[in-house]
Amino acid sequence: MLGILYDIHGNLDALEAVLADAEAVDVDRWLLGGDYGTPRPHPLETLARLRELPDATWIRGNGERWLLEPPEDRPEVRETYGRFRDQISAEEVEWLFNLPPRAELDGILYVHGSPLADDDSFAAEPHQGEERLLAGVRERTVVFGHSHLQFRRPGPNGTDLVNPGSVGMPLDGDRRAAWATRDGDFAFRRVEYDVERAAAAYRAMGGGFGEFAARRIEQGSD
């Protein structure tokens, strides 16, 4: 069985709860969909835990790309990445930055945001013009994250769009950690964890970013 983890964001409490849940359903291989842990609480511990997983395929999220290519049009992101630049070593930064942006497993396409871009994603409801996000992909199942919303729906061009949700920072109103499995078909899962402790770890980072992230975790939404 394949376990699918997206958008962990350094939330080690949520990750450990998900991995305990995975043991109960006999997950034996993994797809890791990006945005693992920097700048966030517990970045090294998160990476170390993920590296223990058997038969894991990793892809890069915008969070890993931004380690070396922060967005020019978002000064708050550049400031945050600059402030926490020393959370991980230069070698780890290079390794994360050089992860592939997509993977194919069992005929399924896995990306972080969309086939078009790692920081541009599909909404939970269809939107006019969203076919641009497919960048020419047709008649395929596309698994993606970035929006932190757990859903599945038909997409343009005969596609099947699957978002397993966010392990570390769900934004669909449900504070429980979100992930998915695939064993012939996809199954969405949610797991209780210590939300208050996780929020405190973000808040301890200080500044506007720490408070913003902590409130997201506490509310399960923006």
Q: Decide if 176 contacts 18 (C-beta within 8 A).
A: no
What are the residue boundaries of the structural domains of the chain, listed by start?
Answer: 2-219
Q: What is the pLDDT along the chain (222 residues), one digit of tens a residue?
A: 999 999 999 999 999 999 999 999 999 999 999 999 888 888 999 999 999 999 999 999 999 999 999 888 888 888 888 877 888 999 999 999 999 999 999 999 999 999 999 999 999 999 999 999 999 999 999 999 999 999 999 999 999 999 999 999 999 999 999 999 999 999 999 999 999 999 999 999 888 888 999 999 999 998
C-alpha distances (whole Å) from 87 to each of 18, 44, 61, 192 are 24, 8, 18, 28
pLDDT value at residue 55 = 96
* Long-range contacts formed by 211-214: CB under 8 A, 24+ apart: 213/9, 213/40, 213/169
CATH class of 2-219: alpha beta
This prediction has a pTM of 0.95
